[in-house]
Amino acid sequence: MQICGFPKKKKKPNTLKSIIKVFNDMKVRKSSTQEEIKKRKKAVLFCLSDDKRQIIVEEAKQILVGDIGDTVEDPYTSFVKLLPLNDCRYALYDATYETKESKKEDLVFIFWAPESAPLKSKMIYASSKDAIKKKFTGIKHEWQVNGLDDIKDRSTLGEKLGGNVVVSLEGKPL
């Protein structure tokens, strides 16, 4: 029986918390067991919910550290293949690279907005970008990509990470 005639509100999944959790799990590198390391995300895509009102984790579009060497030979190439050709996405990519001095790992925030995406989608994603980026505190690298030609060559990401001092990305020379 309803009192006052107000329908009960359905609870929405707390998408903001899940996005922040994914980010924090990728960012934090405390000593972990081998099992925990395998479950860490190497790359993850975020999309808009069906009603275009929330940013959500796209569960099927991710690469786990444990997949590398098993179902994923080259994490960078596999990541590029996850990107939809005709729609926008946000992504976090945990780049492993070498400079002339040392090995490094950095999270890269990527705004994927291909030319072939619908104008409305590009506008919604562009206007939502700052909201998601603010939740990702400490991101050193941001990259807006407008097509496969901009992202398919790993040396482009190498330039974003450190200019001409980056000598390899994901174990592959640049």
Q: What is the DSSP letter of 7?
A: P
pLDDT tens digits for 105-127? 999 999 999 999 999 999 999 99
Band of the pLDDT at 14, cuts 50, 70, 90?
A: low
pLDDT tens digits for 128-159? 999 899 999 989 999 999 999 999 999 999 99
Picking from 81, 109, 84, the residue whose alpha carbon sits closest to that of residue 94 is 109
Residue 2 has pLDDT above 80, yes or no: no
Domain limits of the chain? 15-173
Residue 94 has pLDDT above 70, yes or no: yes
Residue 10 has pLDDT above 70, yes or no: no
State the Rg of the chain over Cα: 18
Residue written as tokens 């009603």?
51
How far apart CA 96 and CA 24 sit, in angstroms, is 17
Which fold, 15-173?
A: Severin (3.40.20)
Residue 12 has pLDDT above 70, yes or no: no
Q: Cβ distance 18 to 57 under 8 Å?
A: yes
3-state secondary structure of 36: helix
The average pLDDT across 41-70 equals 94
The average pLDDT across 34-49 equals 91
- What stretches of the chain adopt beta strand conformation (E)? 41-48, 55-64, 89-99, 103-112, 141-145, 166-169, 172-173
Residue 33 has pLDDT above 90, yes or no: no
Does this model's pTM top 0.75?
yes
Beta-strand pair 166-169/172-173: antiparallel
User: Which amino acid appears at position 3 of this protein?
Assistant: I
Q: Which residue has the higher pLDDT, 146 or 8?
A: 146
